[in-house]
Structure 1
């Protein structure tokens, strides 16, 4: 009896110890400010996002909800300077920004990042967690704590505290975009949290003005052309081309242009795949001051857009009669989030604080111009909408596998 009781107690105690050990192992690394931000389950992935970024803010948590709140700037300050431990916030001056992947930090002397590290917890995984993280380059304006930090001999400043409280109560608007194309604007963080919880592929962002939130939720979409505007475009087209060419242009199939970046052995490259043996296919090295998988993806994005933009210019100059109806395809959610949701609203300083910021800025400009071109000429392109689509990586998709091979080949050239 005694032996049986002892064995039972030992088993129960072992279960408790195992549970405690598992709980201790479950930690979350939140990157609030960096090249990109999000919540990660491993430090190796998190440090790849913050390594070398000026003014990065990051912290380790034992709670997913706390980690996500930190990324969102909800209830946590972003002016702490405790960067000596991963259990504390690491930061320096700069703007507050949240994004899903690709950032880095100067607070640690770390090794090279792993290939294509992604945050463990993103909006596309909200169905599995109680609270969301911030996806794809959100710029949350998380205010620092209102507690007065007085040094020796300093008196309590009531007016300063009151002003801080007033600032904390300033209006805020949260734009929310869903993967099905729908969107909404929330007036508080709890409302936004409720709107995005358990949703897949949702992106959201905090704004100071309603107008900014509306721009975000509209994704910069232009209003539909009127009948008279469409007629004018068709009439202009037929001045230089035949009705047969117009029919051929309208009936042309949509072509996916795949793009991918590669980072291996401290070498980066990118690939662009139009099709098997297509002369437009690209395999180029990335020559930049800082290189990693994120930078390679940015170069791939700009490269694909530049090729399409060049063809658009030839079409406008009447050097070619028929132009392809293209759609960008990538396995990088980072690239999609940058182009569709965030980067178009950034100021120059926000590009300057990023790796490959100038390249990314050019990509955003090209993307807008190509989208506008297809929209304004929708009547001759059979209402084709130029966009960027996500495809699953390493899933046997010929175009994506082709872009991956080209990207690796490009990295070998560097």
Structure 2
């Protein structure tokens, strides 16, 4: 069974379920956590990343010790990895994936040239520029910037899922960077409420883009439930952020290819 070690969160310790772990790290700035196959490795992760003292309690049959950690490991954005740990199965720095969408004449044209971009780094074969016509029936579903952004996030999550499937023992972590607050909030914050409300908004109207939000939210949660550290991170657009600028460039290349 998996063990989830929380070295820094609302309550440090070793937990037997992702749900308990998530409750302790979700939204917690600088959270430090990791999934292990054995309880001893998980406990070692917590104790090695504690700055002082230890305690022991039980949580779902597990025990934990330690309190806080600031010398590397998972941090910021609710669990993205930004340093290097020294415990068992230590992870590399979080892979940052930048996504963006483009819809020219968004809100004005009936079928604007649209596309999305996914950027991993210079010369990376996974970099993608995709026209929206390749993933949507644009004759029936109007292309929008919001749909392009959601498709980009879904693309990145599918990449992560495929990578994890090919190497399930990897402790690699991921950050998906988007300049769309709508996209981040739809997946991270609003989807659960919409789902519980039969995919209706608070005003009773149907949730726009449900056909994209629902499976993307499901994929995001499935990865987290599997212990894959993945977070959506909002970045300011057009602010000389190299990754975001390159994703924007790829999104426009995708839009150029739309037919």
After TM superposition, the score normalised by the length of structure 1 is 0.37
Largest Rg, 1 or 2: 1
Q: Which of 97, 103, 122 is the equivalent residue of 1:257?
A: 97
Correspondence list, 1:98-113, <5 A? none
Correspondence list, 1:339-378, <5 A? 339-347=187-195, 348-350=198-200, 353-374=206-227
Residue 231 (structure 1) aligned with residue 38 (structure 2) = yes
**Counterpart for residue 160 of structure 1:** none
- Alpha-carbon distance in 2 for matches of 1:248, 1:257: 26
- Alpha-carbon distance in 1 for matches of 2:91, 2:216: 28
Q: Which runs of 5+ in 2 are unaligned?
A: 1-8, 11-18, 26-35, 43-85, 106-111
- Alpha-carbon distance in 2 for matches of 1:233, 1:406: 45
Question: 1:284 Cα shift?
Answer: 0.5
Q: Which is bigger in relative contact order (C-alpha 8 A, separation at least 6)?
A: 2
Residue 281 (structure 1) aligned with residue 82 (structure 2) = no
RMSD, aligned CA: 3.5
Richer in helix (by share): 1
Give the conservation status (yes or no) of the 8 Å contact 2:97–2:156: yes
- Alpha-carbon distance in 1 for matches of 2:255, 2:129: 8
SS in 2 for 1:401: helix
Give the conservation status (yes or no) of the 8 Å contact 1:257–1:272: yes
Question: 1:230 Cα shift?
Answer: 5.9
After TM superposition, the score normalised by the length of structure 2 is 0.58
Residue 327 (structure 1) aligned with residue 167 (structure 2) = no
Q: Which of 130, 146, 149 is the equivalent residue of 1:297?
A: 149
**Counterpart for residue 398 of structure 1:** 242
Give the conservation status (yes or no) of the 8 Å contact 1:295–1:355: no
**Counterpart for residue 221 of structure 1:** 22
Structure 1 residues 249 and 401: CA distance shift in structure 2, 3 A: farther
- Alpha-carbon distance in 2 for matches of 1:291, 1:221: 35
- Alpha-carbon distance in 2 for matches of 1:222, 1:308: 23
Structure 1 residues 232 and 350: CA distance shift in structure 2, 3 A: same
Residue 271 (structure 1) aligned with residue 122 (structure 2) = no
Q: Which runs of 5+ in 1 are unaligned?
A: 1-180, 183-217, 236-245, 376-384
- Alpha-carbon distance in 2 for matches of 1:259, 1:350: 27
